[in-house]
Structure 1
C-alpha cells in the first residue's frame, strides 16, 4: 500500500509547537520522531556528546566522515561541536517497527567559531528493549539558506507482510537491494542522467555538500546538469527492514565536476514501490 505523507500545521511558539505536533503524530512514526527530538533536546540542555551517547549502542556507526563505531568514537575524546541542534523534517518507520529514518536541518558550532549549518540523516533500528537506536548517522554541511520546511512523515499501515525466520533468507533479501544499487552504479558509469532518471523516486530528497535540500527528481536532474557533475558509486553496506519495504545502501563515490574530482561517501534510502521496483527516496553525498 502506498504511504501518504502528512504535513504538520503548527506554527506557534517553540515549546507549544513541539507539544502540539507530537500530540498530532500517529503512534508508530511518532515514537521515532519523539526519540530524535528527545536526543536533540539533550543536545540543547546538556551537550551534543551526551545526546549522541543516549541514542547509540555497540552496533551503531557514525560517519565522521569515514564510518566508525559510534561508542568507541564517543568514548575517546571525539572531535564533535560544542553546540549542536537539529530538528527532523522527514521521518518514516517500517511496518515491522524495527527500522526507520529521520533527516532534517542542523546547526553546530565550536566555542569561539562561527555557527555552521548542515543536514543530518539517521537510519534507526530498535534494540531488544524496544528503544530506538542509531544504526548509521551522517551529516553534510551547507550554507543554511534554505527555508524551513514542514515535517513530512510516513505512518506504516497494518497490511500483512511475510515474516521470515531463516537468516539465510533474510540475507538474500538484503542481497536483492545490493543488486539494485550495483545496477544503479553500473548505469551511472554509462550515463548519469539515465541512471538517476531510472532509479530515483519522483519525490526523492537529495543532499549534497554546500547545497540546500533538493526535493524531487526533476530538480535533482536539473542540479546535476547545471553543475556538470558526473557521479560513479560503489556499494559497500546494506540493511533492510524486517517487513521488507524499506532499505538502505551505503558506499563510496567519485564525483567529477567542471572544477575537480572529489572522493565521497554516500547513503541511499530505498523503497519497494507498488510496481515491485526499488527506488531511491533519499540520497546523501558527503566528502570522505
Structure 2
C-alpha cells in the first residue's frame, strides 16, 4: 500500500513538474525587464540595479565588475534612466533569457540633457527564488532614434525542454570553444567570420549607431565602416535546455584608422543542425 501511495505521489510530482516546465513563455523575461525598469524609475538607478542583480551579475564601468560591487561602492547614481524591452528570447527551460531595447538617460531638465542609446540584458533564473535575475546589462550610446523600434518577442521551442545536464561545465566549455573559434575567424577576416556565425535574425549593437538587424545589413555595415576585430574570450554560460547561451570578452577594434578597446557580450542560439549561431552582440567602449 505504501509503495502504491509513493508511486502515485511520485507520478503526481512528475506531472506537476512537467506542467510547471511547460508554462515557460517569453513574457516571463519581458516582465522581468519591465519590472526592473519600474524599480529604477521608483527607487533610482542604484537601488533599481541592486534589487534585481544576480549574485554573479555584471556591468561594465568601463571594465567588467559585479553589479553588487559597483553599486554598493557608490552613494547614488544621479539622473533618470528609462528603458523599454523591444526584443526578447527565453530558453525552453526558462532559466536563461535576453532582452534588448532603447533607453533614455537624463541628468537635467531639458531635452538637450537627454542621452539616447540601446541596452542588452541577460537574465538567469535564481534557483532559490525562481525569479529571473540580471546577469548582464550593457548599453551603447547613439543619436536620438529617427523611428520607434519594432517589437520582436519570440516564444521558446518547448520541444527542446530537457533535464539539466549532470555535467554543468560541459555546456560552458562548448560555448567557450565556439566563442574562441569566432574570435579566431574574425582575426582572419571580419566579414567571413561573421558570415559563418551570424543567425539570420542577428542583432548588432555598435557604439554610435542604432541597432542593426539581419545578416546582410550587418555585413554591409561592417564593410562600410571598415571594421576589423581582435577578440579575447573571458567566460560563457549555457541554458540547461541547450538552446540559448552567452559569452563575453574583450575586443580591440580598428575602425578605419582609429583603434579602440571594447568589452563585448554575445548571445547564442542553437539551430536545427545543432550549430550555435550568433543572435546578439553588443560592444561597450573602454577608455584607451
Structure 1: give runs of 5+ residues left out of the alignment.
Answer: 1-25
Large movers: runs of 4+ above 4 Å: none
Of the candidates 215, 235, 259, which is equivalent to residue 217 of structure 1? 215
Does the 8 Å CA contact 1:146/1:213 hold for their aligned counterparts? no
**Shift in alpha-carbon separation, 1:190–1:80, aligned structure 2, 3 A:** same
Say if 1:274 and 1:57 are closer, same or farther in 2 by CA, change over 3 A.
Answer: closer
Structure of higher CA gyration radius = 2
Match of 2:9 in 1: none
Give TM-score, length-normalised by structure 1: 0.85
Task: Provide TM-score, normalisation by structure 2.
Answer: 0.85
Q: Is the 8 A contact 1:90 1:103 kept in 2?
A: yes
Matched residues in 2 for 1:39 and 1:164: separation? 27
1:79 is displaced (CA, Å) by: 7.0
Give the distance between the partners of 1:162 and 1:194, measured in 2 at CA. 34
Q: Distance in 2 between matches of 1:222 and 1:94?
A: 30
Contact 1:64 1:138 in 2 (8 A): no
Q: Distance in 2 between matches of 1:184 and 1:270?
A: 12
Matched, 1:255 2:224: no
Name stretches of at least 5 consecutive residues in structure 2 with no aligned partner. Answer: 1-22
Residue 147 of structure 2 corresponds to 147
Aligned length: 261
SS in 1 for 2:74: coil
Contact 1:91-1:100 at 8 Å conserved across structures: yes
1:8-44 Cα shifts (integer Å, max 9, x gaps): xxxxxxxxxxxxxxxxxx9621122112112212322
SS of the residue 1:54 aligns to = helix
Residue 67 and residue 78 in structure 1: after superposition, are their counterparts in 2 closer, same or farther (change >3 A)? farther
Q: Judging changes above 3 Å, is the alpha-carbon distance between structure 1 residues 34 and 189 closer, same or farther for their aligned structure 2 residues?
A: same
Seen in structure 2, the aligned counterparts of structure 1 residues 162 and 27 have a Cα distance that, compared at 3 Å, is closer
TM-aligned CA deviation for residue 281 of structure 1: 0.7
Equivalent residue in structure 1 for 2:106, among 91, 106, 109? 109
Separation of aligned partners in 2, 1:227 and 1:160: 38
Residue by residue over 1:136-161, the C-alpha shift from the partner in whole angstroms, topping out at 9 and shown as x without a partner, is 11111111224212221121233154
Whole-angstrom CA distance in 2 between matches of 1:160 and 1:71: 33
- Pairwise CA RMSD of aligned residues? 1.8
Hey, what does 1:267 align to over in structure 2?
Answer: 265
Q: 1:216 to 1:165 in 2, by over 3 A?
A: closer
The 8 Å contact of residues 81 and 108 in structure 1, kept in 2 or not, is answered as no
Report SS of the residue matched to 2:52.
coil
Partner residue of 1:133? 133
Structure 1's 163 and 108: CA in aligned 2 closer, same or farther, altered over 3 A? same
Conserved in 1, the CA contact under 8 Å of 2:60 and 2:284?
Answer: no
From 69, 75, 78, the counterpart of 2:66: 69
